Structure 1
Amino acid sequence: MSERTTWQKIARRIRVPLGFVFAAVFLWLARPTGKTMLLSLLLVVPGVWLRAYAAGYVRKNAELTFTGPYAYTRNPLYLGSMLIAFGFAAAAGSWVILIALTTLFAAIYIPTIQSEEAYLREHFAGFDDYSAKVPRLLPRLTPATFPANQNASGGRFSWQQWQHHREYNALMGAGAIYLALAVRLFLHPRG
Structure 2
Amino acid sequence: MAVTRLHNLRCLHMEHTPLTHIPKGIGKLDKVNNLQGFVVGHEVPTKPEQGCALEELRALCKLSRLSISSLERAVSGAPVLAEKPFLKELTLGWTPPVGGEDEDEDDGDADDGEDREDEEDNGDNTRVEGARWSEEQIQGGKKICNVLSPPSSLRDLALEQFPGRHFPSWLMSTSLGELFPNLLYLELSDFPSCMELSCPL
Pairwise TM-score range, normalised by the shorter structure: under 0.3
TM-score normalised by structure 1 residue count: 0.27
Which structure has more RCO (C-alpha within 8 Å, separation ≥ 6)? 1
Which of the two has greater strand per residue? 2
Which of the two has greater helix per residue? 1
